[in-house]
Amino acid sequence: MDGLSTSIIGRAQDKGLLSVEAINIRDFAENKHNRVDDYTYGGGAGMLMQAGPVYGAYQSVVEKAQSKPRVIYLSPQGQTFSQSMAEEFAKEQELIFLCGHYEGIDERVLEEIVTDYVSIGDYVLTGGELPAMVMIDAISRLIPGVLHNDVSAEFESFQDNLLEYPQYTRPEEWHGKKVPEILLSGHHANVEKWRREQSIIRTAQRRPDLLEKAELSEKEKELAKKHLQNTK
Ligand code: 4FD
């Protein structure tokens, strides 16, 4: 599929770890002009994708599938996509991403085939393809072998509902800025303590909404409180 043929997801496909296929709903048009949209009953502006072609495209995929896959409809009206949802979807053998254009799709076919309504965030795009690719990327990197990284993809941002601590590499000094002394000390326990504190401070400053779900000790809660920007 275009856009997924290069880089990490492309290599994962070459290695046979996953495959992504695109089906054009237009190929399932029920008229000779290959139109798959029509005016809405009840009037109003805009066109709607018809049930028939969407169902035809769906059937063509399900026929080849091993089991009956979940069907994810990308729409601003869906539940907001998250890391925990990516982890859920990564367990599935197959997934179908239904991408609408225009104003949307006839409700009747959605009722019949969609299992999950998902949004990647509160904004409107011209189609569901980019949201689908965002989801595919987030899900694919959780499949064993996709990241050559020894450390699993799970050990990173959003673990513990805290943001990642700041990181540094060579040189030791750049633009007059020094790498924090403690990271050069070789004292592993102190480094871990510093990183945890930095995660908490950073979360308080940048994503205070995440703190509610984070498991913090009383001391850590104090630290977080000290770094919240209360004067808004
Ligand atoms: N925020 C998203 C998904 C799709 C989209 C569309 C109804 C518009 C944003 C159904 C309206 C599909 C998202 C296509 N825009 N646009 O995840």
E strand intervals along 5-141? 37-39, 47-49, 70-80, 95-99, 116-119
Measure the CA–CA gap between 55 and 134, rounded to whole angstroms. 24
- What are the per-10-residue average pLDDT scores of the chain (232 residues)? 73 96 97 95 93 98 94 98 97 97 90 98 97 97 86 62 97 98 98 98 98 97 95 50
Residue 53 near residue 28 (C-beta atoms within 8 A): yes
Ligand 1, residue 125: give the atom nearest the CA: 15
Cα 107 to ligand 1 centroid, rounded to whole Å? 15
Instruction: Kindly compute the dihedral angle of the four CA atoms of residues 161, 193, 148, 23, in this order, to the nearest 10 degrees.
Output: 10
Burial of 175 (0-12, 13-18, 19+ CB in 10 A): exposed
Cα 137 to ligand 1 centroid, rounded to whole Å? 18
Instruction: Kindly compute the dihedral angle of the four CA atoms of residues 197, 199, 200, 206, in this order, to the nearest 10 degrees.
Output: 140
Q: Is 120 in the pocket of ligand 1 (CB under 6 A)?
A: yes
Please give the domain boundaries of the chain with CATH numbers for all domains: 2-140 (3.40.1280.10), 155-230 (1.10.1270.20)
Measure the CA–CA gap between 107 and 109, rounded to whole angstroms. 6
Backbone angles phi, psi at 205, to 5 degrees: -80, -40
Cα 124 to ligand 1 centroid, rounded to whole Å? 5
Cα 9 to ligand 1 centroid, rounded to whole Å? 23
Count the Cβ atoms, other than its own, within 10 Å of residue 223. 16
pLDDT at 102 (0 to 100): 64
From atom 17 of ligand 1, which residue's Cα is the shortest distance away? 119
- Entry pTM: 0.93
